[in-house]
């Protein structure tokens, strides 16, 4: 009975936060087990695309897509990409499709392919374009026993190693939101940095102590993360009948994103959001509450068992090699990756990243803005091009 009461309270509080005035009653695309990102979104746009599977050390089967220029679509199917490899890593509640949701002139995945890059698209565990686990079912609690810590040290590490091995080349990296958390954690490991040529981080996050999103702060304040785990809810799937209403309410935040095409919201939500774990949400909320960039906090006794210390170890951003070239884009209207937290990250880094500040940009604008090619992506491509990757087209 206590669990039922808690569930009712959670539902009531969440429904209280909902404002449906900015989003339509949306139909969500159903992704079948046999569907693939290449088949659904990339090949229909005229781009050669192949599917790959990577197994992590803890048994998760990740989907990776390899995309090449549309200029090769009418020729030999075995045409090899001519440019250096670049790995695109999505953010929270997203997957690899996030890089292809606008036109081929507005979507970074298509733009990089047309610029001659060998584009690899990452999908973390639990998302629709990954392929489960070697032994665990998605219906099992243990399948969802992970946070961004494992996404960084297992998923991203394995994807980088796979692309590096397949191409025999150091890779360029682009991450957005959670994809930057993963990168900054992973880059504290020298063996990972050794495989990376340079990295571009969109809405970089290593601290969340100054997050200003009122919706998120309400959820933190009501301890939603702890309630979900106490209720035995380990998978956060926002395509469930109830959760879809929560996603609609989040659309209210579109007012903080200056430049994406609101007429395409229905299309975006055909693909987004993707599942994540309650443990991942709890880890993110720990960052907000504690103001630390640290491993998952299991509590005093749990930490002693897991780490040998009463406090979880931090990811030491000061240890990231000064020799790793970094580019960072951030927005003045981002209620998730706050400028104050971003400056904290900059203070920790030994290197001096190249920076792009866009005062009007919100969190989603960096991947969905109709002007992102001119505002953002051209700068990323020039940054990568200055790192010794000659021979690529840089026209826009």
Say which of 107, 177, 249, 278 is annotated catalytic: 177
Q: Which tokens go with 219?
A: 């959820």
Q: Which residues contact 131 (CB under 8 A, 6 or more apart)?
A: 53, 61, 62, 63
Residues 348, 352, 358: CA angle, nearest 5 degrees:
95
Kind and range of the H or E element at 276? strand 276-277
Say which of 363, 365, 369, 375 is annotated catalytic: 363
Q: Residues of 214-248 as b/e, b for ≥16 C-beta within 10 angstroms?
A: ebbeebbeeebbebbeeeebbbbebbeeeebbbbb
DSSP codes of every residue in 299-340: -HHHHHHHHSSSSPPB--GGGS-TTS-EEEEEETT-SSS-HH
177 catalytic residue (yes or no): yes
Kind and range of the H or E element at 122? strand 118-122
Say which of 118, 248, 253, 334 is annotated catalytic: 334
334 catalytic residue (yes or no): yes
223 catalytic residue (yes or no): no
CA distances in angstroms from 275 to 12, 30, 205, 247, listed in the order given? 22, 13, 20, 12
Residues labelled as active-site residues: 177, 334, 363
């Amino acid at each position: 009975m206590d669990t039922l009461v808690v569930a009712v309270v959670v539902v009531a509080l969440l429904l209280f936060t909902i404002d449906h005035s900015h989003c339509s009653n949306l139909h969500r695309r159903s992704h079948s087990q046999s569907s693939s990102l290449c088949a659904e979104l990339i090949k229909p746009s005229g781009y050669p695309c192949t599917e790959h599977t990577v197994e992590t050390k803890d048994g998760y089967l990740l989907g990776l897509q390899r995309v090449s220029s549309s200029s090769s679509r009418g020729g030999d199917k075995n045409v090899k990409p001519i440019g250096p490899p670049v790995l695109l890593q999505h953010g929270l509640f997203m997957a690899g499709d996030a890089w292809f949701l606008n036109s081929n002139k507005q979507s970074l995945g298509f733009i990089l392919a047309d610029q001659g890059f060998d584009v690899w698209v990452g999908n973390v565990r639990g998302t629709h374009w990954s392929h489960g686990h070697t032994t665990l079912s998605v219906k099992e609690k243990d399948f969802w026993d992970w946070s961004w810590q494992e996404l960084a040290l297992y998923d991203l590490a394995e994807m980088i190693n796979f692309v590096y091995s397949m191409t025999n080349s150091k890779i360029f990296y682009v991450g957005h939101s959670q994809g930057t958390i993963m990168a900054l954690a992973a880059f504290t490991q020298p063996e990972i940095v050794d495989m990376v040529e340079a990295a571009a981080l969109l809405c970089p996050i290593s601290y969340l102590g100054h997050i200003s999103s009122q919706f998120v702060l309400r959820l933190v304040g009501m301890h939603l993360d702890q309630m979900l785990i106490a209720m035995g809810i380990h998978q956060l799937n926002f395509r469930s009948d109830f959760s879809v209403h929560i996603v609609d309410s989040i659309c209210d935040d579109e007012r903080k994103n200056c430049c994406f095409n609101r007429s395409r919201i229905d299309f975006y939500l055909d693909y987004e959001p993707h599942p994540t774990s309650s443990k991942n949400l709890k880890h993110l909320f720990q960052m907000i509450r504690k103001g630390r960039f640290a491993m998952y906090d299991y509590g005093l006794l749990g930490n002693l068992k897991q780490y040998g210390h009463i406090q979880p170890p931090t990811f030491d951003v000061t240890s990231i090699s000064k020799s790793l070239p970094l580019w960072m884009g951030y927005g003045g209207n981002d209620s998730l990756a706050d400028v104050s937290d971003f400056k904290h990250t900059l203070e920790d880094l030994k290197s001096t990243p190249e920076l792009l500040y866009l005062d009007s940009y919100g969190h989603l604008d960096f991947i969905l803005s109709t002007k992102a090619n001119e505002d953002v992506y051209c700068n990323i491509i020039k940054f990568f091009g200055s790192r010794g990757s000659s021979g690529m087209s840089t026209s826009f």
